[in-house]
């Protein structure tokens, strides 16, 4: 289900769908970062998954983040850089939220 959720949010193999949650996220991230979307951020990570058509292989699943996966490594790295917690609106929480059908916590 998480693959379909990412696609439904507008992250597709053809790119980001106009007027979608994905386009809103991209616009907000670009404004916040001074005009660009940075590699490794929420938008870039979700678009990579949408283009590949698979979130499960990265460890973002409808049941949560899989242990030992790329997702768990991202979560661990993000937690270390934020003093032990994964911030709301950060890359890991946003990608997991969208993977589960949410709005990304933004």
Residue 17: per-residue pLDDT: 95
* Least confidently predicted of 29-33, 74-78, 96-100: 96-100
Could you report the per-residue pLDDT of 40-61, keeping only the tens digit for each? 888 888 898 888 877 767 888 8
Could you report the per-residue pLDDT of 8-39, keeping only the tens digit for each? 899 999 999 999 999 998 998 899 888 888 88
Average pLDDT score over residue span 78-91 = 84
* pTM of the entire predicted model: 0.75
The 3-class SS string of the chain reads: CHHHHHHHCCEECCEECCCCHHHHHHHHHHHHCCCCCCCCCHHHHHHHHHHHCCCHHHCEECCEECCCCHHHHHHHHHHHHCCCCCCCCCHHHHHHHHHCCCCCCC
């Amino acid at each position: 289900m998480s693959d379909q959720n990412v696609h439904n949010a507008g992250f597709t193999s053809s790119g980001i769908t106009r007027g979608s949650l994905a386009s809103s996220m991209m616009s907000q991230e670009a404004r916040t970062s001074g005009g660009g979307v940075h590699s490794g951020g929420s938008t870039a990570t979700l678009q990579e998954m949408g283009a590949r058509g698979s979130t499960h292989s990265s460890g973002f699943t409808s049941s949560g983040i899989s242990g030992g996966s790329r997702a768990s490594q991202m979560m661990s790295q993000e937690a270390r850089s934020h003093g032990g917690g994964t911030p709301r609106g950060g890359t890991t929480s946003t990608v997991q939220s969208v993977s589960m059908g949410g709005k990304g916590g933004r």
